[in-house]
Structure 1
Amino acid sequence: MRGLQGKVGVIAGGARGIGAATARRLAEEGASVVIGDLLADQAEETANAIRAAGGKAIAVMLDGTDAESQAAIVQAAQDEFGGLDFYHSNLAGGTDGDIDALNCPVDVLEKSFAINSKSHFLATQAALPAMLERGGGAMIYTSSGAASGGAPWQVAYPMTKNAIHPLARHVAAKWGKQGIRANVICPGLVLTEAVKLHLTDEYVERGLKAVPHTRLGAPEDIAAAVAFLASDDGAWVNGQVWHVNGGAQMRD
């Protein structure tokens, strides 16, 4: 990718899965990365692996639902690497107990909102001033194909992931003239470590049959899309929701 060499970015939720793959890819492209996660030990392992391969990375404990924690990770990027050029807001979760609208407990909805909506809002509040100070930058949010999939078995996760889309469009519309780009990636079925733990072989087989592709997704597929949106190659992409799913949903 063009223009990633020397850039500085935060990967929130970067300890494993999509976030870790993204941190590795961006470091390979020459960016310096700050890996934030509640899984502090795993985040440090990912940062260590990047450094061992010749990249630049540090790990910071991040509670994405806390404004002070979000501010602290942005400050860490500035202190360690001199600024902030992109922020990949990649937090997701809160699906335990998430069922249909008549039976989903309110506390499950509130937890889902905190992780899947509030954290991205707080990331935006923390990162934008630093990027504006830099003369521009890229907010890249991870949503989900569930946000537009109409699943009958869960309600909170799709609702709260959907909230990211208008957030990104707002950021693009409000600060685009000041060099800020904001885009969303909606992964399809990606076989991360966490997904593999929870999905049966039957579910994976069913998922493969449903997608017009030869395989299901890998974390590196999403990492490639993030790298493009963070790079100068993605300079004219703003306010978009990209579905990276092997064709599972075909959308304008």
Structure 2
Amino acid sequence: MRGLRDKIGIVAGGGRGIGAATARRLAEEGAAVVIGDIMADWAEEIAAAIRESGGRAIGVRLDGTSAESQAAIVATASREFGGLDFYHTNLAGGTDGDVDALNCAVDVLETSFAINAKSHFLATQAALPLLLARGGGAMIYTSSGAASGGAPWQVAYPMAKNAIHALARHVASRWGKEGIRANVICPGLVLTEAVKQHLTAEYVERGLKAVPHRRLGQPEDIAAMVAFLASDDGIWINGQVYHVNGGAQMRD
């Protein structure tokens, strides 16, 4: 990708799965990366592997639902590497007990919104001042195909993920003239460690049959889109939602 070398970025939720693959890809492209995760040892493990390969990365603990923790990771990027050019906010979770609207408990809804929407809002509040001071930069949000999939078995997670789309479009329209780009990626069924651990082989097989492609997604597929949107190759893209799903959902 053009224009990623020597850029400085944050990957939230970078200890495993999509976030870890993204941190590795960005480092391979020459960016310096701060990896944040609620599991600090995971974040440092990925950062150490990147450093061993000749890249620049550090790992820190990040509680994405805490404004203080979000401010701290942004301050770390500034202190350790000298600024901030992009933030990939990639947190997700809180799906236990998330069922249909008549049976989903309010506390489940609130937990889902804290992890899947509030965390992205707080990341935006923490990162934007540095991006603006830099003369521009990119906010890249991970949503989900669940936001538009219309699943009958789940309500809170799709609602919360939809909120990210509104946030990104707000950021793009409000600060686009000041050099800020804000875009969303909606992954399809991606075979991360968590997916392999929690989904049955039957579910994965059913997912593959539903996709007009030879395989299901890999974390590296999403990492490639993040790298594109963070790079100068994606500089004229703003306020968009990209579905990276092997064709599982075909949308305008």
Shift of 1:60: 1.0
Matches of 2:231 and 2:132 in 1, distance apart? 17
| 2:145 partner letter | G
Moved over 4 A (4+): none
Matches of 2:205 and 2:15 in 1, distance apart? 27
Shift of 1:125: 0.1
2:15 aligned with 1:15: yes
Matches of 1:97 and 1:197 in 2, distance apart? 18
Look up the match of 1:101: 101
**What percent of counterpart residues are identical?**
83
TM-score (norm 1): 1.00
Determine helix, strand or coil for the equivalent of 1:11: strand
Matches of 2:172 and 2:89 in 1, distance apart? 15
Look up the match of 2:248: 248
Matches of 2:205 and 2:192 in 1, distance apart? 15
Determine helix, strand or coil for the equivalent of 1:163: helix
- What aligned pairs does 1:1-252 form with structure 2 within 5 A after superposition? 1-252=1-252
Shift of 1:145: 0.1
Determine helix, strand or coil for the equivalent of 1:173: helix
- Equivalent pairs counted in the alignment come to 252
Matches of 1:41 and 1:80 in 2, distance apart? 19
| 1:31 partner letter | A
Matches of 2:226 and 2:95 in 1, distance apart? 24
Matches of 2:166 and 2:185 in 1, distance apart? 13
| 1:221 partner letter | D
- CA offset digits 1:110-162 (Å, max 9, x no partner): 00000000000000000000000000000000000000000011000000000
Matches of 1:60 and 1:41 in 2, distance apart? 8
| 1:244 partner letter | V
| 1:224 partner letter | A
Determine helix, strand or coil for the equivalent of 1:154: coil
Matches of 2:75 and 2:43 in 1, distance apart? 17
Coordinate RMSD, CA, aligned: 0.3
- CA offset digits 1:20-77 (Å, max 9, x no partner): 0000000000000000010111111000000000000001110000001000000000
Matches of 2:83 and 2:44 in 1, distance apart? 21
TM-score (norm 2): 1.00
Segments of structure 2 that go 5 or more residues without pairing to the other structure are none
Matches of 1:125 and 1:199 in 2, distance apart? 34
